[in-house]
Amino acid sequence: MAFDKIEYVHSFPKSYTLSNEKLVDWDLIGMKQFRIVDSLLIVSTNDKNGFWSFFLADDLSFKGSFIKQGQGPNEFIYSPDIINSSFQREKDLLIAYIYDFQTGRLYKMNVDDSFSTQENILELTKDNLPPFLFDFAIIDDGIFYCKEIANEQTQQLRYILNHGEKETPIKFDRLNKAQVAKGEDFNIISSITVKHPKKDIIVEAPITLNQINLFSCMGELQKTICVGDKLDNIGSIENKIQWMRIYTYGAVRTYNDFFAVLRIGDDKKTFQTTRKSLPIIQLFNWEGEPIAEIKVNRFITSFDFDLRNKYLYTLDGPTDEFYRYNISSILNDIIPNLTKK
Confidence of residue 25 (pLDDT cuts 50, 70, 90): confident
Give per-residue pLDDT as tens, 203-229. Answer: 999 999 999 999 999 999 999 999 988
Q: At residue 337, does pLDDT exceed 80?
A: no
| pLDDT, mean of residues 315-325 | 90
Look up the CATH number of domain 6-334. 2.120.10.30
Q: At residue 238, does pLDDT exceed 80?
A: yes
According to DSSP, the residues that pair with 165 across neighbouring strands are 162
Domains of the chain, residue spans:
6-334
Backbone Cα Rg of the chain:
20
pLDDT at position 223, please?
96
- Using CA atoms, how far residue 20 sits from 15, 272, 281, 331, in Å, is 17, 26, 17, 16
pLDDT at position 341, please?
36
Give per-residue pLDDT as tens, 162-203. Answer: 999 999 999 999 999 999 999 888 889 899 999 999 999 999
pLDDT at position 144, please?
96
User: 234 in the Ramachandran plot: left (φ > 0), alpha (ψ -120 to 50) or beta?
Assistant: alpha
Planar angle of CA 90, 94, 97, nearest 5 degrees: 85
CA distance 292 to 281: 8
| Mean pLDDT, rounded, of the chain | 92
Confidence of residue 270 (pLDDT cuts 50, 70, 90): confident
Instruction: Tell me the percentage of the chain whose pLDDT exceeds 90.
Output: 77
According to DSSP, the residues that pair with 62 across neighbouring strands are 55
Range with lowest mean pLDDT among 26-35, 65-74, 121-130, 157-166: 26-35
| pLDDT, mean of residues 47-72 | 92
Burial of 192 (0-12, 13-18, 19+ CB in 10 A): buried
Give per-residue pLDDT as tens, 281-294. Answer: 999 999 999 999 99
pLDDT at position 276, please?
85
Q: At residue 87, does pLDDT exceed 90?
A: yes
CA distance 132 to 123: 20
Select the more confidently predicted residue: 122 or 341: 122
Q: At residue 52, does pLDDT exceed 50?
A: yes
DSSP β-ladder status, 105-110 and 93-100: antiparallel
DSSP β-ladder status, 202-206 and 212-215: antiparallel
What predicted TM-score, i.e. pTM, was given to this entire model? 0.93
Burial of 307 (0-12, 13-18, 19+ CB in 10 A): middle
